[in-house]
């Protein structure tokens, strides 16, 4: 008998450990191991697909014979049709039982008042639980009746058809859960009732068409399993994906509006170019996922290795891509609702927690996608792995570091905003007389602290992320120390500016909105940075002054402003009467609504403070809040003018008199020269 030879071909990408186990299991001696050459190398993916298509086309002619052979198991075509009708009757009975036991949903008007998101989420959860129970009833009744009424040969087909019916219904339930047409009190998506009905009806139509193709695919997969039905099944999978592709384009406008609302841009004109691009073109992502699912399903039907796994991965990708944006948007809605009704002291924790929750959802979605595509980020990479597989655990740790950093930043930012004073008026616009009204000390310090916190959190997050990626950050820290030392020697002016600014802020020398006068310029404080202060002069020019060159600072806007002025009255005026009249005018100014709260001390007379020729100098003073003195002075002078006219009190006017002591001849000579005695003026 001739000696036989057995050749065992192992895949070139087989795991080394498994390869060793296979070789150890072979009998010792007589085993020859050869390296693969060009003739035995694994074929390219395109060659595999081409071969599968050629095989399916060649075997498609045997499809009628395969169908007749399958019908023969039921006693002929009539028996097969009877089995199919029995399966349909079982599913109809299951649906009838579901409808009979389903709790009817209360009617809702389209103009329901807005309800809290928490209540909406609870109503949606109850509706979802009820729908899942209904589907469970449908599955149970249909399976039981199908097993009781159909022959043994039809039971695998019955099970497959029932579950093929459940999947589109689950997808439609997800759409109904989000859009809730006619039920705004449980609507999770921010659609109006018209858009909600359109989205749901289009989804029902697309899923109904997809279900029809799916039923035929399931039947052919059982009746003509293998090569005879491969070509027809792959073609039906492609055609059945078309309704889904069309659906994504038809709902592009309402879902694009949801994207704009989620980012705070109710009007497309208010959105940035990137947000508008996302709102207009989001559908292409889902079209690509649908096309990938169809391609993987068709490849699996043709017998391409690994296509079935790709198909399952594509289904998980579709589910994650649909649910993740709505979960993130739901967290944002819950955050905004709780922020509107909660204590402001809890806003920082609320925003930080919401940012952390959204980040965790996004990272979890990434993990689900990676696991669906066969990449487990939590398990050690296999021996010999390279590329992305090796980086997955590091990338996951870096993603969590970024999420925690973002949450810390939102918390710190909200804490700073909670304690900051209201922003001062827009100082970039032309200023009138009302200048120099400063803000609070916190309102001045917190913007600088905010910038420092952002820098610190960003640097720490970047360091943790780089460390997670395997980068040795010790040289970076050492380099940062050397750089800081070099800056300390080479940029002494910069260091002096920063340190001087810290002391100015610590001593509360000035605040944003206050009017300063320094050796380098004067004006209202518009902005304070790490190294300089920006002043705007009342006439418009802007001074940017480094802290180290400011020198002595005169702050004209701190605590109060005392206004003093004098006027002259003739020597025969009753000064006591003037004093009482000024006091009366000061009291009347306190009752002026336009000056309400501006005076710290009312206007009063200081009496005669000096003599000028034949006139007394009468002093007046009052105290106002910083920045309010200009309006108060105008109103005070106008009120004094009216009071003096009503009480016949004259103000002193300059007077020049010419005497005639020199005689008429001198006067005549003066007139002849062009001069003349002037009347009092």
Q: Higher-confidence residue: 666 or 631?
A: 631
Q: How confident is the model at residue 92 (pLDDT cuts 50, 70, 90)?
A: very high
Residue 401 within any structural domain of the chain: no
Flag the least confident range among 506-520, 547-561, 667-681: 667-681
- Taken in order 292, 298, 302, 307, the sign of the CA dihedral is positive
Q: Higher-confidence residue: 473 or 420?
A: 473
pLDDT in tens, 43-52: 445 666 667 7
Distances (CA, A) of 329 to 271, 273, 342, 355: 17, 21, 20, 11
Q: What is the CATH number of the domain that holds 467?
A: 2.30.30.60
The residue-averaged pLDDT of 572-591 equals: 87
Q: What does the pLDDT read at residue 40?
A: 44
For residue 45, what are its two tokens?
């993916």
- Give dist(CA 379, CA 387) in Å, integer: 16
Assign residue 234 a region (left: φ > 0; alpha: ψ between -120 and 50; beta: otherwise). alpha
Residue 53 within any structural domain of the chain: no
Residues 277 and 144 in one domain: yes
* pLDDT beyond 60 at 518: yes
Residue 56 burial (CB count, 10 A): 22
Instruction: Give the percent of the chain with pLDDT over 90.
Output: 6
Which residue, of 493, 523, 555, is where some domain finishes?
Answer: 555
Residues 590 and 525 in one domain: no
Residue 84 near residue 70 (C-beta atoms within 8 A): no
Residue 229 near residue 177 (C-beta atoms within 8 A): no
- Taken in order 670, 674, 676, 680, the sign of the CA dihedral is negative
* pLDDT beyond 70 at 601: yes
Residues 431 and 573 in one domain: no
Domain that holds residue 643: 559-681
Residues 218 and 106 in one domain: yes
- Give dist(CA 643, CA 651) in Å, integer: 12
Q: How confident is the model at residue 353 (pLDDT cuts 50, 70, 90)?
A: confident
* pLDDT beyond 70 at 382: no
Q: How far apart are the first and last CA of the chain?
A: 150
Residues 333 and 215 in one domain: yes
pLDDT in tens, 276-324: 888 888 888 888 878 877 887 777 777 666 555 555 666 677 777 777 7
The residue-averaged pLDDT of 267-278 equals: 75
* pLDDT beyond 90 at 201: yes
- What is residue 12's three-state secondary structure? coil
Q: How confident is the model at residue 653 (pLDDT cuts 50, 70, 90)?
A: confident
CA 223-226-227 angle, to 5 degrees, is: 115
The residue-averaged pLDDT of 53-74 equals: 81
Q: How confident is the model at residue 681 (pLDDT cuts 50, 70, 90)?
A: very low
Residues 524 and 566 in one domain: no
Q: Higher-confidence residue: 7 or 108?
A: 7
- Give dist(CA 73, CA 56) in Å, integer: 24
Q: How confident is the model at residue 680 (pLDDT cuts 50, 70, 90)?
A: very low
Q: What does the pLDDT read at residue 93?
A: 92
Residues 143 and 228 in one domain: yes
Range 639-648, long-range pairs (CB < 8 A, 24+ positions): 639/585, 639/588, 639/589, 640/567, 640/582, 640/585, 643/581, 643/584, 643/585, 644/581, 647/577, 647/581
Flag the least confident range among 21-30, 120-129, 150-159, 249-258: 21-30
Residues 534 and 667 in one domain: no
Task: Render the burial of 633-653: b for 16+ CB within 10 Å, e for the rest.
Answer: bebbeebbeebbeeeebeebe
Q: How confident is the model at residue 673 (pLDDT cuts 50, 70, 90)?
A: low
Q: What does the pLDDT read at residue 438?
A: 54
* pLDDT beyond 50 at 188: yes
Angle between helices 307-341 and 117-149 (to 10 degrees): 150
Task: Enumerate the H helices of 270-306 as residue ranges.
Answer: 273-302
Sheet holding 521-528, edge to edge: 542-546, 532-536, 521-528, 515-518, 554-555
Residue 45 within any structural domain of the chain: no
For residue 415, what are its two tokens?
């804490």
Q: Measured in whole angstroms, how far is the alpha carbon of residue 539 from the centre of its chain?
A: 40
Q: Higher-confidence residue: 180 or 385?
A: 180
pLDDT in tens, 565-579: 888 888 888 888 888
For residue 591, what are its two tokens?
């009752």
267 burial via Cβ count (<10 Å: 0-12, 13-18, 19+):
exposed
Flag the least confident range among 90-94, 303-307, 371-375, 435-439: 435-439
- Highest average pLDDT, of 194-198, 224-228, 436-440, 594-598, comes from 194-198
Q: Measured in whole angstroms, how far is the alpha carbon of residue 669 from the centre of its chain?
A: 94
Q: What does the pLDDT read at residue 447?
A: 67
Distances (CA, A) of 1 to 4, 6, 94, 299, 445: 9, 15, 65, 45, 98
Q: What does the pLDDT read at residue 44?
A: 45
Q: What does the pLDDT read at residue 309?
A: 55
Flag the least confident range among 93-97, 383-387, 609-613: 383-387
Which residue, of 321, 341, 361, is where some domain finishes?
Answer: 341
| Dihedral angle over CA of 172, 173, 174, 180, nearest 10 | 100
Q: How confident is the model at residue 104 (pLDDT cuts 50, 70, 90)?
A: confident
Residues 548 and 563 in one domain: no
Residue 146 burial (CB count, 10 A): 25
Range 248-255, long-range pairs (CB < 8 A, 24+ positions): 248/283, 248/286, 248/287, 248/290, 249/283, 249/287, 250/202, 251/198, 251/199, 251/202, 251/283, 252/280, 252/282, 252/283, 254/191, 254/195, 254/198, 254/199, 255/199, 255/282, 255/283
Mode of pairing for the β-strands spanning 599-612 and 615-624:
antiparallel
Residue 359 within any structural domain of the chain: no
Give the chain's domain count.
3
Q: What is the CATH number of the domain that holds 653?
A: 3.30.70.100
- Give dist(CA 612, CA 676) in Å, integer: 27
Q: What does the pLDDT read at residue 364?
A: 82
Model pTM score: 0.59
Q: What does the pLDDT read at residue 91?
A: 92
| Owner of token pair 């029902």 | 204
Q: What does the pLDDT read at residue 49?
A: 67
Task: Enumerate the H helices of 306-387 as residue ranges.
Answer: 307-341, 347-372
The residue-averaged pLDDT of 97-102 equals: 85
Residue 41, C-beta contacts closer than 8 angstroms, at least 6 positions apart: 12
Flag the least confident range among 79-88, 269-278, 340-349, 406-415: 340-349
Q: Which helix (H) or strand (E) holds 28?
A: none
Q: Higher-confidence residue: 677 or 303?
A: 303
Longest alpha-carbon distance in the chain: 172
Which residue, of 492, 521, 555, is where some domain finishes?
Answer: 555
Mode of pairing for the β-strands spanning 561-570 and 521-528:
unpaired
Residue 41 within any structural domain of the chain: no
* pLDDT beyond 90 at 204: yes
Average pLDDT over the chain reads: 76
* pLDDT beyond 50 at 427: no
* pLDDT beyond 90 at 666: no
Distances (CA, A) of 205 to 183, 245, 578: 20, 12, 92
pLDDT in tens, 358-380: 788 888 888 777 777 767 666 66
DSSP of 557-616: TSS-EEEEEEEEEETTS-HHHHHHHHHHHHHHHHT-GGGTTTEEEEEEEEEEEEEETTEE
- Give dist(CA 9, CA 36) in Å, integer: 9
Residue 115 within any structural domain of the chain: yes
Q: Higher-confidence residue: 628 or 163?
A: 163
Residue 36 within any structural domain of the chain: no
Residues 119 and 261 in one domain: yes
pLDDT in tens, 322-349: 777 777 777 777 777 777 777 766 777 7
Residues 272 and 292 in one domain: yes
- What is residue 516's three-state secondary structure? strand
- What is residue 548's three-state secondary structure? helix
Residue 191 near residue 254 (C-beta atoms within 8 A): yes
Q: What does the pLDDT read at residue 86?
A: 92
- Highest average pLDDT, of 20-34, 450-464, 575-589, comes from 575-589
* pLDDT beyond 50 at 253: yes
Residues 472 and 529 in one domain: yes
Residue 427 within any structural domain of the chain: yes
């Amino acid at each position: 008998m001739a000696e036989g030879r057995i050749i065992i071909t192992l895949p070139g990408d087989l795991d080394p450990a498994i390869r060793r186990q296979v070789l150890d299991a072979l009998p010792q001696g007589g085993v020859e191991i050869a390296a693969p050459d060009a003739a035995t190398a694994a074929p390219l993916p395109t060659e595999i697909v081409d071969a599968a298509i050629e095989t399916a086309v060649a075997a498609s002619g045997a499809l009628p014979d395969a169908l007749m052979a399958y019908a023969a198991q039921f006693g002929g075509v009539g028996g097969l049709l009877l089995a199919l009708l029995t399966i349909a009757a079982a599913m109809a009975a299951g649906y009838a039982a579901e409808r009979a036991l389903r709790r009817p949903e209360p009617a809702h008007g389209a103009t329901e008042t807005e309800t809290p998101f928490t209540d909406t989420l609870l109503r949606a959860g109850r509706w979802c639980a009820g729908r899942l129970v209904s589907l469970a009833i449908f599955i149970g009744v249909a399976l039981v009746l199908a097993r009781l009424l159909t022959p043994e040969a039809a039971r695998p087909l019955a099970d497959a058809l029932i579950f093929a019916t459940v999947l589109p219904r689950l997808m439609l339930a997800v759409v109904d859960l989000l859009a809730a047409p006619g039920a705004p009190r449980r609507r999770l998506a921010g659609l109006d009732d018209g858009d909600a009905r359109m989205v749901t009806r289009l989804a029902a139509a697309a899923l109904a068409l997809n279900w029809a193709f799916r039923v035929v695919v399931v039947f052919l997969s059982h009746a003509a399993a293998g090569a005879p039905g491969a070509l027809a099944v792959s073609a039906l999978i492609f055609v059945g994906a078309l309704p889904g592709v069309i659906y994504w384009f038809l709902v592009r406008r309402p879902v694009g509006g949801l994207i704009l609302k989620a980012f705070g841009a109710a009007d497309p004109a208010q959105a940035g170019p990137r947000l508008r691009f996302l709102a207009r073109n989001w559908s292409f992502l889902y079209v690509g996922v649908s096309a990938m699912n169809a391609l993987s399903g068709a490849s699996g039907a043709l017998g391409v290795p690994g296509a079935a796994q790709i198909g399952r991965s594509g289904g998980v990708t579709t589910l994650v891509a649909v649910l993740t944006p709505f979960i993130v948007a739901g967290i944002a809605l819950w955050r905004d609702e709780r922020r509107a009704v909660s204590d402001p002291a809890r806003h920082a924790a609320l925003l930080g927690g919401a940012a952390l929750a959204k980040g965790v959802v996004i990272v979890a979605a990434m993990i689900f996608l990676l696991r669906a595509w066969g990449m487990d980020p939590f398990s050690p990479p296999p021996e010999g792995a390279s590329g992305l597989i090796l980086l997955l655990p590091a990338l996951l740790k870096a993603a969590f570091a970024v999420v925690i950093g973002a949450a810390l930043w939102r918390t710190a930012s909200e804490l700073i905003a909670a304690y900051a004073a209201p922003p001062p008026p827009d100082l970039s616009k032309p200023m009138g007389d009302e200048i120099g009204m400063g803000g609070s000390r916190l309102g001045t310090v917190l913007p600088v602290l905010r910038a420092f916190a952002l820098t610190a959190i960003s640097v720490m997050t970047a360091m943790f992320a780089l460390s997670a990626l395997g980068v040795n950050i010790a040289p970076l820290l050492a380099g940062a120390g050397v750089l800081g030392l070099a800056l300390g020697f080479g940029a002494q002016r910069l260091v002096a500016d920063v340190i001087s600014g810290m002391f100015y802020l610590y001593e509360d020398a000035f605040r944003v909105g206050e009017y300063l006068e320094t050796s380098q310029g004067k004006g209202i404080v518009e902005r304070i940075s790490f190294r300089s202060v920006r002043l705007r002069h009342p006439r418009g020019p802007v001074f940017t002054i480094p802290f180290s060159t400011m020198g002595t600072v005169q702050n004209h806007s701190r605590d109060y402003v005392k206004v003093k002025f004098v006027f002259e009255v003739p020597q025969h005026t009753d000064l006591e009467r003037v004093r009482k009249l000024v006091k009366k005018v000061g009291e009347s100014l306190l009752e002026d609504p336009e000056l309400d709260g501006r005076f710290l001390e009312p206007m009063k007379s200081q009496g005669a403070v000096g003599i000028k020729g034949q006139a007394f100098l009468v002093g007046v003073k009052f105290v106002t809040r910083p920045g309010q003195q200009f309006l108060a002075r105008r109103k005070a002078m106008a009120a004094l003018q009216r009071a003096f006219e009503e009480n016949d009190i004259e103000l002193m006017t300059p007077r020049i008199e010419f005497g005639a002591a020199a005689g008429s001849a001198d006067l005549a000579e003066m007139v002849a020269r062009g001069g003349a005695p002037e009347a009092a003026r």
